Structure formats: structure tokens, C-alpha cells
């Protein structure tokens, strides 16, 4: 499974890109709104210089004509830009019209297997089931990933990739991988937590303490020999 970063924050993207694990970036209007004063086009183009992989830029129109208009505009910004459209009938129309022009789409705000199936049939490049927001409603977000994966598996003509979104913690990442997601898009804090473990910290502390004690012992032994 591949990892994307779910942010429009360039500092976070720069840091995670250095770790060598990033295959793409997803943004959305809420994430862009957090970057006060940042220009959308410039941000997307800067991200494209930091990460060599799909970068999702989301449309804000509610009708297919507007989504197609925005999609054509965004796709001209960089060849790695993927157009994010919502899981609506207008979104489907936009996916199929943009697809005719060779423009790839991410069908977002997916909360059901029927939406994911329709998105695939329209030719979506990726579909984004939102795990955390379903969990918030006491529904099993991971079950949605499992069901979509099973449906796609049984229909080999479907090429759409499953991009697990609304990831809230490292267990979501692991469970999404087990459930059949091809990609998980994670907030920066979740990616950091994926590499944290108290036993790693205490293990490093004791290794370093032992090494320093050894150096002191050797220095003392050298001094008494001299």
C-alpha cells in the first residue's frame, strides 16, 4: 500500500518527503483554508516540486460544467495534478467528461460501496472512502474499505484504486492496508505517530546510556594505565 500526505502545508510536505515514503499528496478546500493567505495554484505547483506523484486538487463547483471547467484549469498546472470531485451524479459526469480529455479524477466524500462502484464505472483514477467520519457516526469505516475491495476484486475490468481517507490514527493505516486499500492518505501527525513507540524511545535511551558509560570506563582505564 502507498502513503499519501493529506495536507496543504508545505512545511509538513517538505519534511515527510525527506523520509522517502511519500507517493502523493491530497488537499481539500478545508486544508487549503488552513494555509492563510496561500495561493491555491502556487501551493499545488510548489507541492509538485516536492513530491513526484499524484497531487489531488479539489473542485468547489456543485455542477458538472463547473467541475469540468475547474478540472481543466487545475490539470494544466502540472501533469501530476488529479482532480477531486464529490461523490454526486454531477461528480460522475465530471469524471467521465474529464476522462475523455485524459484528465484523472479522485472521487471524494465516498461513504458507500454503491458510490465507489459508480465512481469506478465512470472511470475514476482513485476513489476516497472516508474512514474516520464513518467511525465518528458509530459506523465501521474499515468495513466500507473491505466491501469496496471485494467488489473491485470481483470485477477485474475496474482499474480504480482505493484511497483510504479521513485517517485518524496509525491503526487506521494498518487496517486499511489489510482491508485492501491501495493507498492511505494521512495527516502529518498520523504519519509521525506511525513511527513512534515507547519501547523504541526507552531502547534508544538505554543503548546510548550504556555506550556513554563504556566510554567513561575506557577513559578511566586509559588514565590508570598511563
Interface residues with ligand G3P (CB under 6 A) are 6, 26, 28, 130, 132-133, 165-166, 185
Q: Which is nearer to ligand G3P, 8 or 97 (CB)?
A: 8
* 84 classed as catalytic: yes
The residue assigned the cell 566510554 is 215
Query: Closest separation between CB of residue 111 and ligand G3P, Å?
Result: 11
Q: What is the rounded CA–CA span in Å between residue 222 and residue 226?
A: 6
- Measured from the CB atom, the residue of 97 and 109 that comes closer to ligand G3P is 109
Q: Which of 125, 107, 102, 99 is nearest to 28 (CA)?
A: 107
Strand partners, 105: 83
Query: Judged by CB, which is closer to ligand G3P: 99, or 132?
Result: 132
Parallel, antiparallel, or unpaired: how do β-strands 183-186 and 2-6 relate?
A: parallel
How far apart are CB 205 and ligand G3P at their closest, in Å? 33
State the catalytic residue, choosing from 41, 84, 189, 193. 84
Q: How far is the CB of 185 from ligand G3P (least distance, A)?
A: 5
* C-alpha span between 4 and 153 (Å, rounded): 22
The residue of the chain with the least Cβ separation from ligand G3P equals: 166
Q: Could you give the CA distance from residue 10 to residue 23 in angstroms, rounded to a whole number?
A: 15
Active site residues: 84
Amino acid at each position: 500500500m502507498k502513503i499519501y500526505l493529506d495536507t496543504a502545508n508545505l512545511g509538513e510536505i517538505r519534511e515527510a518527503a525527506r523520509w522517502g515514503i511519500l507517493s502523493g499528496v491530497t488537499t481539500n478546500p478545508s486544508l487549503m483554508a488552513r494555509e492563510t493567505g496561500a495561493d491555491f495554484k502556487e501551493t499545488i505547483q510548489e507541492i509538485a516540486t516536492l513530491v513526484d506523484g499524484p497531487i489531488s486538487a479539489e473542485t468547489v463547483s456543485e455542477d458538472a460544467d463547473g467541475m469540468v471547467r475547474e478540472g481543466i484549469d487545475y490539470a494544466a498546472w502540472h501533469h501530476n495534478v488529479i482532480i477531486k470531485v464529490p461523490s454526486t451524479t454531477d461528480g460522475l459526469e465530471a469524471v467521465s467528461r474529464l476522462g475523455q480529455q485524459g484528465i484523472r479524477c479522485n472521487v471524494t466524500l465516498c461513504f458507500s460501496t454503491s458510490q465507489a462502484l459508480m465512481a469506478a464505472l465512470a472511470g475514476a483514477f482513485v476513489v476516497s472512502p472516508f474512514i474516520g467520519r464513518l467511525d465518528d457516526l458509530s459506523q465501521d469505516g474499515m468495513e466500507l474499505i473491505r466491501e469496496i475491495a471485494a467488489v473491485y476484486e470481483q470485477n477485474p475490468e475496474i482499474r480504480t484504486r482505493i484511497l483510504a481517507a479521513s485517517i485518524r490514527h496509525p491503526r487506521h493505516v494498518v487496517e486499511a492496508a489489510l482491508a485492501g486499500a491501495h493507498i492511505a492518505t494521512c495527516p502529518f501527525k498520523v504519519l509521525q505517530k506511525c513511527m513512534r513507540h515507547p519501547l523504541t524511545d526507552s531502547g534508544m535511551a538505554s543503548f546510548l546510556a550504556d555506550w556513554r558509560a563504556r566510554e567513561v570506563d575506557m577513559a578511566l582505564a586509559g588514565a590508570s594505565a598511563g
